[in-house]
Amino acid sequence: MAAPVLVSPEGVRWRDGKRYMWLTALVPPLLPVVSFGLWHRTGSGLPWWLTPLFVFGLLPLLDATSPKDPVSAPEWTHPALDADRYYRWCTYLYLPITGVSLALGCWAWTRGGLSVVEHVAVVVALGTVTGIGINTAHELGHKRGRLERSLSKAMLAATAYGHFHVEHNRGHHVRVATPADPASARLGESFWRFWPRTVLGSLRSAWELETRRLRLRGRSPWSRHNEVLTSWAYTVVLFGALAGAFGPSALLFLALQAVVGFSLLEAVNYIEHYGLARERTSTGRYEKVDPRHSWNSDDVISNLALYHLPRHSDHHAFPTVRYQALRSFETAPQLPSGYGTMILVALVPRFWFSVMDPRVVAHYDGDVTRANLDERRRAELVARYGRVPAEGT
């Protein structure tokens, strides 16, 4: 079935050639269902590696062998694309499929007699699914409708990361590409140093933001009005239900896959703004966020699998715009490859620095001091990459 043709008032015709390709995003949560079936039939735990092999093997390969996709939907199509509920269902369906996969993972963990390696495979497979699910929650959580915001919190329950709903929308989007943002990685900061800073910093920030909001309204943070607590309640209900169905040992599996899941999110956060900085204006405030403050990627397969998350600059400029309408900007700094590849690169600091640091320095025309620097390595970085003197000095 062909995608519908949209026609502008001037008679210009446009069709979303990727309309049905957005279903690619539902492949990761479906793969554990396939893995469960193959494992149940063959008795081998190897099929549980299907999900990580797809996400971190096949997707990077497809990105590397596919042409870039800088094509954006014309602005006049945005109202029609926004009203088309098909695109919403492409995100809604991620949640129930993940629920089924998580239940099957609990079954395999508690009743399958798996080896240690096979237990690891189940954890990594489901952690990959729920980690990508945070991106689905991210897409839904930026929308104004109550249904989508509730679905976002439900999706975050699987990784016990409900506070992301508060911190990302009201913290990260305000402080992005500044030293105050725990989710913006600094030049010279490895992923392994970034991870504890962002995990703990985001949690602290979410609680502070919600406490401040409630106190301004004369309410206690220890109440049902606290969105951090209500979001965590989703996790308590989900984990409690699965432990009741599969036994208390399922809680260990759920905790381990949750760590894998939110670590995958933080790896993406690490990539998205690494080393990029907003300058202060003459008033002392930070300049407005624009395409220069996010790393972008036009790798088509990663974009399909992640609801255009790699078109991150437009998302920061217009957070409520739905994924199918996000645009690619020529002025945005570009990653050398798609997210699947870059996550693997980020896990090896020496390799990451060799790939990304020169790109950050080039983005700032050789003046490394304009980047968001890891202050502990400032002197080393300035000595290594140099500094362009100010005009007239």
What is the tens place of the pLDDT at every residue in 96-140? 999 999 999 999 999 878 899 999 999 999 999 999 999 999 999
Please check whether residue 6 lies inside any domain of the structure: no
Which residues are 280's β-sheet partners?
286
Q: What phi, psi does 105 have (nearest 5°)? A: -65, -40
Instruction: Answer yes or no: is 116 within a domain.
Output: yes
3-state secondary structure the chain: CCCCEEECCCCCEEECCCHHHHHHHHHHHHHHHHHHHHHHHHCCCHHHHHHHHHHHHHHHHHHHHCCECCCCCCHHHHHHHHHCHHHHHHHHCHHHHHHHHHHHHHHHHHHCCCCHHHHHHHHHHHHHHHHHHHHHHHHHHCCCCHHHHHHHHHHHHHHCCCCHHHHHHHHHHHHCCCCCCCCCCCECCCHHHHHHHHHHHHHHHHHHHHHHHHHHCCCCCCCCCCHHHHHHHHHHHHHHHHHHHHCCCHHHHHHHHHHHHHHHHHHHHHHHCCCCCCCECCCCCECCCCHHHCCECCEHHHHHHCCCCCCHHHHHHCCCCCHHHCCCCCCCCECCCCHHHHHHHHCCHHHHHHHHHHHHHHHCCCCHHHCCECHHHHHHHHHHHCCCCCCCC
Comparing 3-7, 267-271, 286-290, the range with the smallest average pLDDT is 3-7
Contact (Cβ atoms closer than 8 angstroms) between residue 374 and residue 186: yes
pLDDT band at 287 (very low <50, low <70, confident <90, very high): very high
Q: Is residue 157 part of a domain?
A: yes
What was the pLDDT predicted at 392?
42
d(CA 339, CA 342): 5
The predicted structure's pLDDT at residue 389: 55
Mean per-residue pLDDT for 286-314?
A: 92
| The pLDDT of residue 393 is above 70 | no
Q: Is residue 185 pLDDT above 90, yes or no?
A: yes
- Examine residue 238 and state whether it is found in any structural domain, yes or no: yes
Asked if residue 222 is part of any domain, the answer here is yes
| Distance separating alpha carbons of residues 32 and 254, to the nearest angstrom | 15
Instruction: Flag whether 183 is in a domain.
Output: yes
Whether residue 97 is contained in a domain is answered as yes
pLDDT at 274 over 90: yes
Residue type, 104: L
Whether the per-residue pLDDT at 299 is higher than 80: the answer is: yes
Q: Is the pLDDT of residue 179 over 60?
A: yes
Of 323, 376, 354, which Cα lies nearest the Cα of 21?
A: 323
- State residue 195's pLDDT score: 98
Q: Do residues 317 and 325 make contact, with C-beta atoms less than 8 angstroms apart?
A: no
Pairwise pLDDT comparison (387 vs 109), residue with the higher score = 109
Q: Counting Cβ atoms within 10 Å, is residue 260 exposed (0-12), middle (13-18) or buried (19+)?
A: buried
For 307-348, write each residue's pLDDT tens digit: 999 998 889 888 888 999 998 888 889 999 999 999 999 999
pLDDT exceeds cutoff 70 at 391: no
Beta bridge partners of 373: 187
The widest CA-to-CA distance across the chain, in whole angstroms, is: 74
Q: With a cut of 70, say whether residue 349 has pLDDT above it.
A: yes
User: What's the rounded mean pLDDT across residues 241-250?
Assistant: 97
**What does the alpha-carbon distance between residue 265 and residue 270 come to, in Å, rounded to a whole number?**
9
- What crossing angle do the helices spanning 227-246 and 191-216 adopt, rounded to 10°? 120
Average pLDDT, rounded, for the chain: 93
For the segment 133-159, what is each residue's pLDDT rounded down to a tens digit? Answer: 999 999 999 988 889 999 999 999 999
Query: Does pLDDT of 214 surpass 60?
Result: yes
Q: In the predicted model, is pLDDT for residue 367 greater than 90?
A: yes
**This prediction's pTM:** 0.94
Identify whether the C-beta of residue 262 lies closer than 8 Å to the C-beta of residue 131: yes
Residue 390: is its pLDDT beyond 60? no
> What is the mean pLDDT of the segment spanning 57-61?
95
Is 13 within the bounds of a domain? Answer: no
Both tokens assigned to 257: 């896959």
For residue 234, which amino acid is it?
Answer: Y
- What pLDDT does 41 receive? 87
Looking at residues 257-274, what average pLDDT do you find?
98
Segments forming the whole domain that contains residue 269: 23-385
The tally of domains found in the chain comes to 1
The band of 70, judged by pLDDT with boundaries at 50, 70 and 90, is confident
Q: What is d(CA 332, CA 27) in angstroms, rounded to the nearest whole number?
A: 29
